[in-house]
Structure 1
């Protein structure tokens, strides 16, 4: 199944004096999408056939790879994300996101040119990790609380690695140095925030009238229709909780499927030497940077799967810390095709384009590399030393006491951010 989004697109012609009729403009865009979808289908059909051949020829390698992917999902991803999935479903079902939309419109609209309801996506996406931002964005778009442009921009910068993964798994577990985790977290989150601010200049300024023009939205506006419903229409708490758990289970099992299939795909590419060829190409491409082959191999792995790529790059034991940090930072920013496939599967059927999301990841890689260099040179050069060792299993780091404490702190920070934003909105109003 192609990763590119197919189906009806909501086409908005540019605001110019162009004489191209709307129906011709829409037809050309739709034809372009159909052509891209056709070639994508051919490519992924060929890839699936090759993967099937690998599974038949190398059943032992297939079972090992699938087992590793399942262990990663069962021991790490499921307990880390499932509670967040349920909370996200409940916040939407209980109309909390609608209240945030009213309260935080004066903050989100001027800063990101996004509606106030997107503040929940921003906070949850930065504190809980992939793919909570995409799930919430899809729900808000389906409820018509986001336009096509707003949904596309929002999903492009609110899907991040969790603080627990960056500081706990990578910083403490792989680097054996919390300072490395803090540096990577700074570059990762700051680059995505800058990306969101950059997309602000791409957005069209909404045409609001009356009090809405000053950010004081009226409760009768369509975007807040759910808030104005009578309490009699709200389902019982038992049904809301049950529906939230069912939806969260569907999402978490889908994530597990992606992890397992990409684990097998990465093993196939490594077993048949494709990763080696990619690493050789990267070494030649970045000759001026003197990139070592082990680091290039880790970067190649990271293009497909974020965890294995980071582990491989850090285990390369480069004599200098900065090259390793730059490689891991770029892997975190790109997030890997496994994560990208998860995101695009969640937003399938919406106007969110794969090409735009890949552009966002490319821009974040460049921003993250620049931030990592600057912050390392000025603040972390004396505190980070690359360690030569084999990283332990991820779950031994993620579920230690200190890591769980940090996870709780990150959720508390998210709540504090919402309270601060509410305070700023209140001050602006009065």
Structure 2
């Protein structure tokens, strides 16, 4: 009973808020359902099905064989670890964790390797960062690309740092690649769709729950109370409330940061840290996806905090040099608005340079 006292207290608080502020809570729940049904479901579900088919038909092993010379020296991991890392970057939360869980359940990686991969593979996606945070919130898609770049570098730095905790196991405990006959798509597709529906439904439940919880904390004045407690810090009350709410749910927190009166560089750095961490909502979604993987939750949370700090520091160091390239205005305020994005030249050059170096290094090691 004592072990679950905090969870019981949170549930009682939520019941109280539902009875005390029924109209506001109903509207918050309806908005969360709309967010999941109109944006998360159509964008994430096809990606889950596609990734599931690739995993079951052996694409991960092929990628692993090619990228083994790159992943081993940098992260001390087998090449197959590149599959959840890069797909996690392109698709966003919680696809990196979902793919890692699938690899572990199919015994293609060990538990130690799964924990190490999870420390850097679960990251925000470009659609959310560029379309929502950059264009809709801060009125400059450019900042979304910078967030994506910084989260990518922060994830790499975290993976390299956490290699120290898994070095003795992950380097000497590789599961050998065994070429097996690939099943047909008619065998893979039904199981993949069923698995994806289960996962996307769980994600929808967490989105609705935390959307209602955030509204409950707003209505009861908890965010305002936390802002008053932290008023000794050199930030505005709006900034402190945004950070408090962002730790619980990152989308709401980044939006409030975009409207705070503080220095733009501080607000953008805080937003970058929030999206790299993901908030408690994303954390619960990830742990729900990993329910069949017996990882150490404290170590995963420590990795996300490290990822957040690394991404924030990289952004803060880059901001003075790239601020002049940011677009001043964007004629949109939609939540995932259709905007004519212009990718900065330096972002294209740096991305091409990185992948070219990685490919050449992999070919060199393969020879």
Check whether TM > 0.5. yes
- The 3 A distance-change label for structure 1 pair 305 and 352 is same
Query: How much does 1:127 deviate?
Result: 0.8
2:110 corresponds to which of 147, 163, 175: 147
- State the match for 1:311 in structure 2: 255
Q: 1:383-422, aligned counterparts within 5 Å?
A: 383-384=325-326, 392-395=333-336, 397=337, 400=338, 402=340
- The 3 A distance-change label for structure 1 pair 310 and 363 is same
What is the DSSP-based 3-state SS (H/G/I as helix, E as strand, rest coil) of the residue aligned with 1:262? helix
1:183 corresponds to which of 143, 146, 150: 146
Tell me, in whole angstroms, the C-alpha distance in 1 between the residues paired with 2:90 and 2:151: 12
What is the DSSP-based 3-state SS (H/G/I as helix, E as strand, rest coil) of the residue aligned with 1:204? helix
- The 3 A distance-change label for structure 1 pair 57 and 310 is same
- State the match for 1:15 in structure 2: none
Query: How much does 1:281 deviate?
Result: 2.6
Tell me, in whole angstroms, the C-alpha distance in 1 between the residues paired with 2:108 and 2:355: 19
- State the match for 2:215 in structure 1: 267
1:426 corresponds to which of 354, 363, 367: 363
Unaligned runs of 5+ in 1: 1-37, 213-220
Tell me, in whole angstroms, the C-alpha distance in 2 between the residues paired with 1:304 and 1:347: 20
| Residue 97 of structure 1 pairs with residue 60 of structure 2 | yes
What is the DSSP-based 3-state SS (H/G/I as helix, E as strand, rest coil) of the residue aligned with 2:167? coil
Q: 1:230-309, aligned counterparts within 5 Å?
A: 230=181, 234=183, 236-284=184-232, 287=233, 290-309=234-253
Tell me, in whole angstroms, the C-alpha distance in 1 between the residues paired with 2:164 and 2:152: 20
- State the match for 1:368 in structure 2: 311
- State the match for 1:20 in structure 2: none
Unaligned runs of 5+ in 2: none
Q: 1:10-409, aligned counterparts within 5 Å?
A: 40-205=3-168, 223-225=176-178, 227-228=179-180, 230=181, 234=183, 236-284=184-232, 287=233, 290-318=234-262, 320-380=263-323, 382-384=324-326, 392-395=333-336, 397=337, 400=338, 402=340
Query: How much does 1:257 deviate?
Result: 0.7
What is the DSSP-based 3-state SS (H/G/I as helix, E as strand, rest coil) of the residue aligned with 1:203? helix
What is the DSSP-based 3-state SS (H/G/I as helix, E as strand, rest coil) of the residue aligned with 1:314? helix
Q: How many residues were matched structurally?
A: 362
- The 3 A distance-change label for structure 1 pair 239 and 207 is closer
Query: How much does 1:178 deviate?
Result: 2.5
- State the match for 1:216 in structure 2: none
Tell me, in whole angstroms, the C-alpha distance in 2 between the residues paired with 1:163 and 1:56: 38
Query: How much does 1:70 deviate?
Result: 0.9
Q: Select between 63-72 and 414-423 the one with higher mean Cα deviation.
A: 414-423
Query: How much does 1:426 deviate?
Result: 3.2
What is the DSSP-based 3-state SS (H/G/I as helix, E as strand, rest coil) of the residue aligned with 1:202? helix
Query: How much does 1:82 deviate?
Result: 1.3
Query: How much does 1:91 deviate?
Result: 0.9
Q: Write out per-residue CA displacement over residues 11-43 of structure 1, whole angstroms, 9 at most, x where no aligned residue.
A: xxxxxxxxxxxxxxxxxxxxxxxxxxx755221
Tell me, in whole angstroms, the C-alpha distance in 1 between the residues paired with 2:312 and 2:171: 39
TM-score (norm 2): 0.89
What is the DSSP-based 3-state SS (H/G/I as helix, E as strand, rest coil) of the residue aligned with 1:291? coil
Query: How much does 1:112 deviate?
Result: 0.5
Q: Verify the 8 A CA contact 2:202 2:288 in the aligned structure 1.
A: no
Q: Verify the 8 A CA contact 1:161 1:332 in the aligned structure 2.
A: yes
Query: How much does 1:222 deviate?
Result: 5.2
Q: Write out per-residue CA displacement over residues 113-171 of structure 1, whole angstroms, 9 at most, x where no aligned residue.
A: 11111111111011110000000110111122222221112112111111121122111
Tell me, in whole angstroms, the C-alpha distance in 1 between the residues paired with 2:116 and 2:156: 12
- The 3 A distance-change label for structure 1 pair 207 and 325 is closer
